[in-house]
Amino acid sequence: MRYAYLTLLFVVVSAVSVLGFRGSLTQRTPLEIFPDMDHQPKYKPQAESAFFADRRTDRPTPVGVVAFGRTALAPEAKFLADDDHLYRGLAADGTPARGYPAGITVDAKLLERGQLKYTIYCAPCHGAVGDGNGITKQYGMGATPSYHDDRLRGTPEGDLYHTITAGKGNMLSYADKLEPADRWAVVAYVRALQRAQTGTAADVAPAHKTELGLK
């Protein structure tokens, strides 16, 4: 029994010696059993470095460097986001642009992409057919406008793009979720939803009328 008490005393003394008294003040660096990479040799912004001749950690960009990027549906290079139509939905005079920017072709591929993104990000509020009867309406989260209102049917494509980019009313921006080309794909799909609501038998191609039972 004596050995058990001695062992317990040894454990307590060792724990206090290693961990210290709780609440005591000290200027010494605490002992870290698992540092988890908390302390790493690295440069901090606007700090000093003896490695470089100018003693700055911030390194100047090489001469002639420009911003550069590509989009999934517009693979051509774009510099400095200088295309107002593509990146901001604006015409040359600064008003919302009508139509689609160069490099965005409205075809089956674009509409399929737009349908995918619309289903993920838009349908919960705007509904599968764009009538504003999404699942959120059933939970009393406010009225969502229908895309089939005359006001939204006539609004320029650039205005729809801007709403996706910057948000409007209770709708937040989706710029962090949809790259510019995907926003245009959603705009094209919204236009397809609007067109589908006003279509007639005369709009169906002759090759498909038979399979639809139309004359």
Q: What is the pLDDT of residues 3-45, one digit of tens each?
A: 777 788 777 777 766 666 556 677 777 778 888 888 888 888 8
Helix (H, G, I), strand (E, B) or coil at 161: helix
The pLDDT value given to residue 208: 77
What domains appear along the chain, each with residue ranges and CATH number?
Answer: 90-197 (1.10.760.10)
The reported pLDDT for the residue numbered 144 is 87
Q: So what's the pLDDT on residue 19? A: 65
% of the chain beyond a pLDDT of 90: 48
Rounded to 5°, the CA angle 134-136-137 comes to 75
141-171 pLDDT per residue, tens: 777 889 999 999 999 999 999 999 999 988 9
pLDDT of residue 77: 47
Contacts of 12 (CB under 8 A, 6+ apart): none
Average model confidence (pLDDT) across the chain:
85
Distance CA 128, CA 135 (A): 10
What's the Cα-to-Cα distance from 15 to each of 6, 26, 27, 99, rounded to whole Å?
14, 17, 20, 73
Place of tokens 């002639």: 64
Point out the least confidently predicted range of 34-43, 118-127, 129-138. 34-43
3-class secondary-structure state, position 170: coil
Task: State the pLDDT confidence band at 121, using cuts at 50, 70 and 90.
Answer: very high
Question: Is the confidence at residue 72, as pLDDT, over 70?
Answer: no
Task: Give residue 23's pLDDT.
Answer: 60
Residues 174-205 pLDDT 10s: 999 999 999 999 999 999 999 988 878 787 77
Q: Which residues neighbour 204 within 8 Å (Cβ) at sequence distance 6 or greater? A: 212, 214
Return the structure tokens found at 103. 């490099």
pLDDT at residue 14 in the model? 76
The rounded distance, in Å, linking the Cα atoms of 114 and 214 is 29
